[in-house]
Structure formats: structure tokens, C-alpha cells
A and B are shown apart, each in its own frame.
Chain A
Amino acid sequence: MIEPVALKDFFITFFSAALIIMAGASYALLFAWSKVNTNPRIKIAAYFSYLVLLVAVVLLTKAANFSGYWLTLSGVMVVGYFFAPIGIWYLCVKTHAVSDTQQATLEDK
């Protein structure tokens, strides 16, 4: 069962939903970047993005009146969007692994 968003919460619903996806992407990109650039600020920015995401999930959960099993959706977003970027990064690295070594040998020559 759902409880539709109240009129006063329209804006916050749209805003937090958009923020979840954008903060998730920014976390993913910054996380990847922090792996190739050692500047610690990038890593901080990455985790800051995730923090924004967390806040946005809380806001959305409230605005969209999640209750009962809908709360698992909030949980899935919190956990999923934390690990998905990490997974994506390692997939990038590992799927490219051979090509990096090939490149290294090329450069050696």
C-alpha cells in the first residue's frame, strides 16, 4: 500500500530523488578518480557525495511516506549505492587488467 506524497512535499520529493541519482553518480566518478589520483581531497569529496546521498534517501523516505516493506527500498538504496560504485570501479580495473600489462610491455619496448 502506498500513501501519496502530500502537496507540501512535492518539491522535496523531486529534489531528493534527483539528488540520490546524481550524488550516486558523483560518488561513483569521484571514487574512481580517487583511485587514479592520490590527492586525498578527491576521496573526501567522494565520501561527501555519499553523505549527500544518505541525506537525500532519508528525505525521500519521509516525503514519499515510505512505511512497511517500502522501507526496504530505502535500505537497498543506502547499501546498494554504497557498494555499486566500488564494484563498478573494480570491474573497470579487472576487465582492463590485461590491456594495462600489455600496454606496459609495449611501453617497455
Chain B
Amino acid sequence: MNAKELCEGSRANYANFITWVALDRSNLSAGRQLSVNYFIVAVILFFAQLLFGMIAATQFIFPNFLYDWLDFSVNRMVHINAMIVWMLYGFIGCVYWLLEEESGTDIVGLKLGKLAFWVLTGAVTIVVLVYLLIQTGAGKDSSLWLINEGREYIEAPRWADIGIVIVMLIFFYNVVATFSKGKWSGIAGVLTLDLVALAGLYVAGMFYMTNITHEQFWWWWVIHLWVEATWEVLVGVIMAWSLMKLLGVRRQIVTTWLYIEVALMFGSGILGLGHHYFWIGTPEYWLTIGGFFSALEPIPLVAMVVHAMYDAGSHSFKNSNHPAVAWIIAQAFGNFFGAGVWGFMHTLPQINMFTHGTQWSASHGHLAFFGAYATINIAFFYLAIQHWRGDVWMNSDTANAWRWKWALGLLNAGVVGMTVALLIAGYEQSFIERAVEGSTWGGYFSAQNHPSFQSAMVWRWFFGLMTFSGLILLIWDLLTIGKGETRKAQEIVEH
């Protein structure tokens, strides 16, 4: 088969695929068409995330798997970078989705927004290809500018950082200009300020520093103040808006609760940053500040759970999109357990001294990122597909509802299973490597070679596979749910 045939063959396949999914873009406003572009890329990157996670997890069991070809460092980098980027894509998609309805007008600067989408997607593709094909460079600036910055989560080379900032500015322009042309609201205000903070923090991670204490100081500004402050609030905004639409909660209530959340979240999360400044060379007062403020961090999460139950209860759980609401409930619990419970378990310096930098962090990281941020994005994917299908009926009795239910079950059970396996591994590691053997290299490897660690890695692999199959089912469901559905979505009255 020659290249031309291959090309035509794939074009035909693509055409068949499009006919099969039978999605009609004219069901969506222009702004929402841009929004679903972001969702599509998000789902593809989610798939890539789990694929490379599986490879990395395999290497824990069979270290020679793909050795020298796709090393652990490469796979892990793609795993966590794909995660950060797909979640950001999802969030941007959510914002474009609610922008027109919330402002009451058409998007301003849509053309530019579309261009930004393609530029960003092109840049992401190039970055990933360079990660996979070039992988590492020499120890000089040009490597950091062109290949990889070598800093966990924000590895993207500097040229891409700058590109990302430019795209963010365009996105930001779309948001602000649209609200200014239409109308502002409490939700719009919080959203705008939060986006300023989110983008501004990214810039804090764009500088090279030889002094590793300073470098990690700023690195944590990005990572921590993203996931424990600005991202939480962004999710709060998205959640507030969805609760209004899905359950019919009154605007004044969701706005008030959004402010409550901002106060509690920023009040605990900003100085909670201290829990990353225990051991990187920074002064001792961070032990106290980090310990105290991160002990407060679970409170907003508890408040959100109680309030979510209250809202859902007072609306008798009546809603127009069952899969989305199921994922929103998963978010409330996932955020509470992953961030609140798992976070607090290892956050006091007295114990973090031993858990720091072990599989403990990975256990917490998986449950928290999935529970807090994967869930809400998935909820929104369902919301989007419902409208893309023409605002159709999407309750528990839709055709093939088993798919979304099983996808929900497999994904959640898989991540919880991985979390528990990693918890066992982390416990053993903090015990043997850190406490008993005083963190020498020998101690590290005795912990890694321990049977309980090894079997935990096998369990993680199997639960990873469960997660991965959940995702495949989820993608299948997103492509087919509501297809051929003729009933209109259930009406929700605001009260």
C-alpha cells in the first residue's frame, strides 16, 4: 500500500466515523462550537495520559520494558503533562461554554479565539513530539528553551510557555470583552479575577534559577497555588453555573456560596502553600504556617459537600442530566477524600518528614487530581454532548445507560484502587526507607525491593487497567449517548 492509498483510506475512515457519530454542530452556538473543540482535544489527551501512565506503571514491574527507548522519565512526563494540559483544555472549554449564556451576548473576538485554539493545539502537538522523539538535550539554555525545562508538571520548553501565555491572553480577551459587552455578574467577576491569578502564577514558573531552593520556591507557587487555590475556585465557578442550570438553584444562592468558597479556599490555601516549604531550604517558620493553614484546608471541602447535599436534597435530586450530576457528586466526594482526607493525612511536618517524596505523595496526587478535576470536566463533557445532540433527554433510562454507569464505576473504582495500592507502597516506603534506614540509597532500594511494595505495584497496574478501560468505555459512551434520542431534556424550574 502506498502513501496515497493510506491517505485516502484514512480519509474514508474518518468520513465513516463522522457519519457514525452523527453529531450536528448546528445545534451549538458559535461559542460552543469552539468550546467542544477544546473538549475533544481534552479527551484525546486524557487518553494519552492514561496510556503513558500504564507504560510507566509497567516499568515499575518490568524495568527493562522499553528501556532506552521510552524511558520512565519520558513516559511519566507525558503522563502528568497530558493531565495538566487536558484539564486546562477542559476548563477553557467550560468557560467558552458558559460565556455567552452568562453574559447574554455573542462571544467577542471569536475568530481570534479560534485561531488561538489551533495555535495552542499545534504547539501542544509539537511539544509532545519533541518529548517523545528528542527527549533530552545538553546542559545548556537552548535545551530548556527548545526541548524540555525538566521541572515536574511544567516541563514545557520556554518557547511553548510564551506561546501559552499569548494564547491565554487571547482567551482572557474573549472572556473580558464578552462580559463587558453583555453583562457582568458575580460569577463573571470571580471567574475573571481567578483567570488573572491563574495565568499570572504560570509566569512565576518561567525563569531559570541555579539556586534550587529559589527555583522550587517559585515552582510551588505555580503548582500549589494552582491546584489548591485558583483551580479550586475555577471549579467553584463552573460548579456554581452548572448547579444553576442542572438543578435550577437560584443565582443568588450559588453566587453567595461561590464567595464563601473563595473566602475559605483562598484563606486556607494561599498560606497552606507552606506545606511545601518544610524541607527545601526555606526558613523554619514554614513548618508552623504550613501545618496550621493546611489543617484548615479541608474545611471548605466539607462545606462544599454539605452544601451540595443540601442543594441536591432541596431539589429532590431532580435534574436534567443524570450522568453529569452523578459526576458532580463524584467531584464533591473525590475532592473531599483526595484533597481533604488524603492531603491532611500527610501534611503535618511531624509526619511529612517521612512521607515527603514517597509513593504517599503519588497516592494523594492521584486521588486528588482525579477526584477534584477529572470528575468536573467529565461532568461537563456530558453536559456538552447533551446539547450537541440537540438538548435531548439524558436520564438514567436513556438507551444504553449501562455504559455511563459502568464507565463511572470503573473509573472511580480504578482510581480508588490505585490510590490504596500506592498508599500501601508509600506507607512501607516511609517506614523502611525513611524511618528505619535513614533515607540512604540502600534504604531506598530495600523499600523498593520489599514484597509489599512490589505487590502494591502489581495491584496499581491492575487498577490502572481498570481505570483505562473505564476511560475507553467513557469515550464510547460520549460518542453514542443520546444518539437517536427523540425526547427533549427534562425541564427544570428554577426555585
Contact = CB atoms under 8 A, between A and B. Distances in A.
Interface of A: 1-5, 7, 10, 13-14, 17-18, 20-22, 24-25, 28-29, 32, 36, 64-66, 69-70, 73, 76-77, 80, 84-85, 88-89, 91-92, 95-96, 98-100, 102-103, 106
B314 interface: yes
Contacts of A80: 296, 299
A75 to B, nearest CB: 11
A14 B344 CA distance: 9
The A contact surface, by secondary structure, is helix
A69 B345 contact: no
A99 B350 contact: no
A92 B351 contact: no
Interface centre among B299, B346, B350 (most CB of A within 10 A): B350
A5 B431 CA distance: 11
B252 A98 contact: yes
Contacts of A76: 292, 295
B260 interface: yes
What is the interface residue range for chain B against chain A?
35 or more
Interface string B461-495: 00000000000000000000000000000000001
B226 interface: no
> Lowest 3 CB-CB distances: which A-B pairs, in order?
A64-B350, A92-B310, A17-B345
Dominant secondary structure at the B interface: helix
Contacts, number: 111
Which of B296, B305, B309, B344 has the most CB atoms of chain A within a 10 A radius of its CB? B344
A92 B256 CA distance: 10
B340 interface: yes
A7 B307 contact: no
Given A10-B430, A73-B292, A92 B306 contact: yes
A14 B298 contact: no
Contacts of B295: 73, 76-77
Given A10-B431, A84-B299, A18 B345 contact: yes
A5 B346 CA distance: 11
Given A91-B260, A99-B495, A29 B309 contact: yes
A78 B256 CA distance: 27
Interface string B243-275: 000000010110011001000000000000000
